[in-house]
Amino acid sequence: IAGPEKKNAVVSEQKRKLVAYHEAGHALVGALMPEYDPVAKISIIPRGQAGGLTFFAPSEERLESGL
């Protein structure tokens, strides 16, 4: 979805930890927002321009509604 993994990217332990906190923040805010799509996947592997990714997937009901 966000592109191929950056296999040659060297990420320090400190940056990996920072990205993990950042993505966890996205997941928490999404979980606390009423009627927001649920978290489907969280990754701290760099892909494309992103250092990490939190992916929210729409529910079946939302997909069928066309919204």
| pLDDT per residue as tens digits for the range 21-38 | 999 999 999 889 988 888
- pLDDT, tens only, 36-57: 888 888 888 888 778 888 988 8
Is 23 labeled as catalytic in the residue annotation?
yes
Catalytic residue among 23, 60, 61, 64: 23
Instruction: State the Cα–Cα distance between residues 23 and 57, nearest whole angstrom.
Output: 15
Quote the pLDDT of residue 67.
63
- Over its C-alpha atoms, the chain yields an Rg (Å, rounded) of 14
Q: Is the pLDDT of residue 59 over 80?
A: no
Quote the pLDDT of residue 57.
86
